[in-house]
Amino acid sequence: MNQIINMVIRQLTRKLLNKGIDASFNKAASLRNGRAEAQQQGAIDDYGNPVKGNPTQEEVRAARRAKRQGGGQGPRQAKQAMKMIRRAGKL
């Protein structure tokens, strides 16, 4: 009889623990989304001017993507400029 009671108590405890863990993860996820929405609304300083908050995750990703795609121009232009300087020095 004691084993049956222990088994039932363990099952109930496991279910309660899993529900608590799931609820905490859901709450943490909703807080993260809530913060992002609050930042998008923007804040106003004492003079009524909008204050730019931290960049959103989409803005950061777009900046990184643009840097990767446009990053080839800088080294290429520098190499071409060095070639032109060397050629001009030979004349």
pLDDT tens across 1-39, in order? Answer: 899 999 999 999 999 999 999 888 888 887 876 555 555
Q: Is residue 74 part of a domain?
A: no
Contact indicator for 36, 57 with CB cutoff of 8 Å: yes
Q: Is residue 75 part of a domain?
A: no
Closest CA to 39 of 58, 52, 26: 52
What pLDDT score does 60 carry? 85
Q: Is residue 90 part of a domain?
A: no
Please give the angle made by the CA atoms of 78, 80 and 85, to the nearest 5 degrees.
95
Q: Which domain holds residue 11?
A: 1-44+55-69
Q: Is residue 49 part of a domain?
A: no
Q: Is residue 18 part of a domain?
A: yes
Look at the chain and report how many structural domains it folds into.
Answer: 1
Contact indicator for 45, 51 with CB cutoff of 8 Å: yes
Q: What is the pTM of this model?
A: 0.35
pLDDT band at 63 (very low <50, low <70, confident <90, very high): confident
